[in-house]
Amino acid sequence: MSDREMVDAVIIGAGISGMYQLHKLRDELGLDVKVFEAGSGVGGTWYWNRYPGARFDSESYSYGYSFSDEVLEEWNWNEHFSPQPDNLKYLEFVADKFNLRPNIEFNTRVRSAHYDDKTNRWQIETDGDHSISCKFLVTAVGVLSTPFTPEIPGLANFKNPSWHTANWPREDVSLEGKRVGVIGTGATAVQMITEIAKNVGQLTVFQRTANFCKPIGNRPITAEEQVQIKKDYPKIFQRCRETFGSFLADFEEKSAFDVTPEEREARYEELWNEPGFGFWLGTYEDVLTDHKANETAAEFVRNKIRSRVNDPKVAEMLCPKGHPFGTKRVPLEDGYYEVYNQSNVRLVDIKSTPIEMVTERGLRTAEQEFEFDILILATGFDTVTGSLDRIDIRGSDGLILKDKWVDGPKTYLGMGSAGFPNLFTVVGPTNGGTFCNIPRCIEQNVEWVSDCIKYLTENEISRIEVNQDAEDEWTDHVQEVVKGTLFPEADSWFMGANIPGKKRQMYLYAGGSPLYRERCDNVAANNYEGYTLVK
């Protein structure tokens, strides 16, 4: 690439969002587009997260792209909840199909993006020292893409191999017979622990907060189901457009107390045995808003845990008690709790006996010293804002995005922020796409951004900028919506509470996908109400 290259649009990230955004802008709008991607291949989340057991927690056929009939016809999912190797193959297949790679510069991170008020263009610099100017900047950096490593004293001194789940070694590593330590018990750890427990020598899991996990209900897709899925695609995607979180499951318009305790228990049992998120997002409508209703679901899960774990003490350690059910992301599992019945697996509660330090060969808690051949950090991500914060983004008059957001992100629809003209944040902070079966909302976001760029181009608009009052209204609305729910009570990544020092507030939009879609559509229909457009 030559220095001072000029293009119409730059997209940061070649995951599910960036790939589709490239296709829309290049192939439908005919724009000159450049994508920068830190990885050596496409796929984003599914490129990086290659730990054993990684798979969709959404039904595969509700997760893939819906925009191309050819892709829907040609691609066959093998499992109801597809594993990472297949997911990456799928995204590579899409990249091949639309010949996306020539516009993507791999192994390249965007270091800075500065807006020039005189030219109304963004100036982008990469870590490869490339410099490129564009009219439109689209960030497609993902919500869970900046791994978080806690500052545990001594971590840097650990002499044996250690890695974060999102940086699982690309070469084959065998854990067979090894003494493995795992820190963290979130959705990632739950998938990974279940898988690695099959052949490790000894496994020690350090748990700070127990999670409410639910059986995934995965199985292979039969040939007959494959035929039916293809026929059902229009119905599947229509259903996803109508449900709260764009999943197949949706809340019942009923309180947990509109039925007898026996009926409720029977309904919970049914939802428990259904694949997917139904027990979480297809339950009584007050489970996530009312403590008493929530406790009926919470205790149901605890009893399931108690019935699966042989040692009552370990079972109680695995029973979540400090936060309401469903206020943290519910991990889906397949045999997770039974892992703790294995004689070579040990659970350590680090709330009561905190990790004091990592030593050269293991770690020390307040009570005991442990040695490991491998130490795995399943400690999550600096979510939602993390990847944007790591780019030096400066808008009009040199305004720094990270500084502007130090007390929490301020956005309009999660698509942009006042003072940052011609910037589109696909599935950005407080975007409706954050609390969503994510590819469904990615498509909505990308299509909205593409329509907007088309409108700007056709109308020869050189600058589009979020109005302060529109941003204030949306930012307040995002926090207002969550007030009626139990979400603020959990120390979750939804609330930014997983990162020390991060402003505690809702980072996702919990108003539901249909409402969000309607808001976005209305803004577009009213000539981008809430924005200022300059010729």
Binding positions for ligand NA7, 369-408, rule CB under 6 A = 378-381
Q: Which is nearer to ligand NA7, 6 or 357 (CB)?
A: 357
CB 88 within 8 A of CB 56: no
- Pick the binder of ligand NA7 from 186, 215, 409, 414 (CB under 6 A): 186
Q: Does 144 bind ligand NA7 (CB under 6 A)?
A: yes
Of the candidate spans 36-44, 108-116, 177-185, 465-473, the one that interacts with ligand NA7 by CB under 6 A turns out to be 177-185
Q: Which residue is nearest to ligand NA7 (CB)?
A: 186
Residue 467's Cα: distance from chain center in Å? 28
Distances, alpha carbon 71 to alpha carbons 5, 56, 92, 261, 333, in Å: 33, 18, 12, 46, 29
Residue 258: both structure tokens together? 């509109």
**Closest distance to ligand NA7 from the beta carbon of 504 (Å):** 13
**Closest distance to ligand NA7 from the beta carbon of 351 (Å):** 8
Of the candidate spans 268-276, 295-303, 361-369, 490-498, the one that interacts with ligand NA7 by CB under 6 A turns out to be 490-498
Q: Which is nearer to ligand NA7, 110 or 180 (CB)?
A: 180
**Closest distance to ligand NA7 from the beta carbon of 159 (Å):** 21
Residue type, 140: A
- Pick the binder of ligand NA7 from 184, 324, 395, 512 (CB under 6 A): 184
Q: How far apart are CA 423 and CA 134, in angstroms?
A: 11
Q: Does 432 bind ligand NA7 (CB under 6 A)?
A: no
What number of other Cβ atoms are within 10 A of residue 524's Cβ? 15
**Closest distance to ligand NA7 from the beta carbon of 295 (Å):** 20
Residue 378's Cα: distance from chain center in Å? 15
Binding positions for ligand NA7, 100-129, rule CB under 6 A = none
Q: Which is nearer to ligand NA7, 315 or 358 (CB)?
A: 358
Of the candidate spans 170-178, 180-188, 398-406, 407-415, the one that interacts with ligand NA7 by CB under 6 A turns out to be 180-188
Burial of residue 378, with CB atoms counted within 10 A of its CB: 0-12 exposed, 13-18 middle, 19 or more buried: buried
**Closest distance to ligand NA7 from the beta carbon of 406 (Å):** 21
**Closest distance to ligand NA7 from the beta carbon of 143 (Å):** 8
Number of residues lying near ligand NA7 (CB under 6 A): 20
**Closest distance to ligand NA7 from the beta carbon of 374 (Å):** 17
- Pick the binder of ligand NA7 from 89, 97, 109, 208 (CB under 6 A): 208
**Closest distance to ligand NA7 from the beta carbon of 436 (Å):** 11
Alpha-carbon torsion (373, 379, 382, 383), positive or negative = positive
CB 178 within 8 A of CB 383: no
**Closest distance to ligand NA7 from the beta carbon of 298 (Å):** 16
**Closest distance to ligand NA7 from the beta carbon of 8 (Å):** 33
Q: Which is nearer to ligand NA7, 75 or 212 (CB)?
A: 212
**Closest distance to ligand NA7 from the beta carbon of 284 (Å):** 23
CB 216 within 8 A of CB 334: yes
Of the candidate spans 106-114, 178-186, 266-274, 403-411, the one that interacts with ligand NA7 by CB under 6 A turns out to be 178-186
Residue 231: both structure tokens together? 């026929």
Residue 523's Cα: distance from chain center in Å? 26
**Closest distance to ligand NA7 from the beta carbon of 33 (Å):** 29
Binding positions for ligand NA7, 301-360, rule CB under 6 A = 329, 350
- Pick the binder of ligand NA7 from 183, 305, 358, 413 (CB under 6 A): 183
Q: Does 498 bind ligand NA7 (CB under 6 A)?
A: yes
Residue type, 187: A
Torsion angle in degrees (nearest 10) through CA of 18, 112, 102, 6: 110
Q: How far apart are CA 491 and CA 353, in angstroms?
A: 19
Q: How far apart are CA 42 and CA 59, in angstroms?
A: 22
Of the candidate spans 128-136, 179-187, 233-241, 280-288, the one that interacts with ligand NA7 by CB under 6 A turns out to be 179-187
- Pick the binder of ligand NA7 from 60, 108, 188, 194 (CB under 6 A): 188
Distances, alpha carbon 87 to alpha carbons 16, 43, 319, 396, in Å: 11, 8, 32, 39
Residues 6+ apart with CB under 8 A from 404: 410, 417, 419
Q: Which residue has the tokens 């764009």?
A: 246
Which of 17, 59, 63, 67 is closest to 42 using CA atoms? Answer: 17
Of the candidate spans 181-189, 261-269, 289-297, 424-432, the one that interacts with ligand NA7 by CB under 6 A turns out to be 181-189
Q: Does 154 bind ligand NA7 (CB under 6 A)?
A: no
Beta bridge mates, 210:
none
Q: Does 187 bind ligand NA7 (CB under 6 A)?
A: yes
Which of 355, 380, 383, 379 is closest to 368 using CA atoms? Answer: 355
The residue count of the chain comes to 535
Q: Which is nearer to ligand NA7, 445 or 450 (CB)?
A: 445
**How many CA atoms does the CB half-sphere of 184 hold within 13 Å?**
25
Q: What does DSSP say about strands 131-139 and 423-425: parallel, antiparallel, or unpaired?
A: parallel
Residue type, 171: E
Q: Does 427 bind ligand NA7 (CB under 6 A)?
A: no
Q: Does 433 bind ligand NA7 (CB under 6 A)?
A: no
Residues 6+ apart with CB under 8 A from 188: 49, 51, 54, 165, 166, 378, 380
Question: What is the contact surface with ligand NA7 in residues (CB under 6 A)?
Answer: 144, 150, 183-189, 208-209, 329, 350, 378-381, 491, 493, 498
